Structure 1
Amino acid sequence: MTVTFPLTGEPLALDLLNTRTAEGDLVADPAGLGAWLAEQAGRLTPLGEVGAAEVAAAGAVREAARPALDAARRGERPPADALRALNGALAAAPSHRELAWTAQTGLTAAAHRAAAPHQRLAAELAEAVADLLTDPRVTSVRACEAEDCVLLFLPAHPRRRWCVAAACGNRARVARYYARHKRP
């Protein structure tokens, strides 16, 4: 079975939150999380094997991120337990920059985390959540206006109403059309 993700390409924290859809949890098992990590290639440190520990770590960050983002969107203080969970994930795999030289790219300074794979994953995801929560645009994060959709997005245009216009937007337009042309 191939897992498809309805919305990717948003800030990493929103992509993580959007793995829980109206249909269910898309990363509830190693195969689903592995597929999502493949979609996020280049945004996270490659893990290798994805197991139950990585699924639990990603799920814990996502569950802490939701109430924190909901509060931040309203300009309110996030729940203390959500912040504690996110800070715990960050502290379990602290990051330091490591300099490297290659002939192709020259000198680079990449983040390095000396921790177990599930702790690295949780820390990177928690860092993405922290970046979103402290971004001044956090109050602009929107929920899709489609009735049966729970996805979040950061609109590039102030008039954007749907997570994916070709999917949710089209369903809304078709529903409005049929409502207008319905026979009495």
Structure 2
Amino acid sequence: MKKLLIFHIIFLFSIFPIFSQKANPVVYNAIKEFEESFPEYSGKVYMTGGNGERTWEKQMEFILSRPGKYPNIQNRFSKCFGKKLPAAPSEMTAEMLSWWEREIMAQAGKPNGFAHVGGKAQDVSVRNLDLSGKQEFSKILQAHNLGIIYEIPPDSYYVSIDRATVFHCYLH
């Protein structure tokens, strides 16, 4: 019985890093590799948005400041509270804020949810790269097991790589 318990404890500690992995250090290592492999692009890419881990409050602000860009959660809010979204978090009741926290945290860390909230995504500015640099950087990110959504902030997603000014990098 003791051996089985010890085995389970060791097993859980050995797989824990898989569940707690964050995108930020993986992206950092990919940028470092890119700059070492292509010194002509050194200093031309950089992580944006801090450590890549957004609070639920910050995610709520993104949702509220982009009407129509998050239709599923915006529609659920309207249905639940019977009203259109307020323009600012300061206009919300404690019940509404509690709802936002619960809804956002339920999708935290998921690529099709709110990947930044769980630290599973990191944005990288690529505005200073030419197409060749973007393509080479993209290959390195993918080699680090990162998915990429090409963006032009604040609200153009899934654009072509040549138009992208930001790579939204997420863990698979």
Same fold (TM over 0.5): no
Comparing both chains, which one has the higher relative contact order based on Cα–Cα distances under 8 Å and sequence gaps of 6 or more? Answer: 2
| TM-score when normalising by structure 2 | 0.29
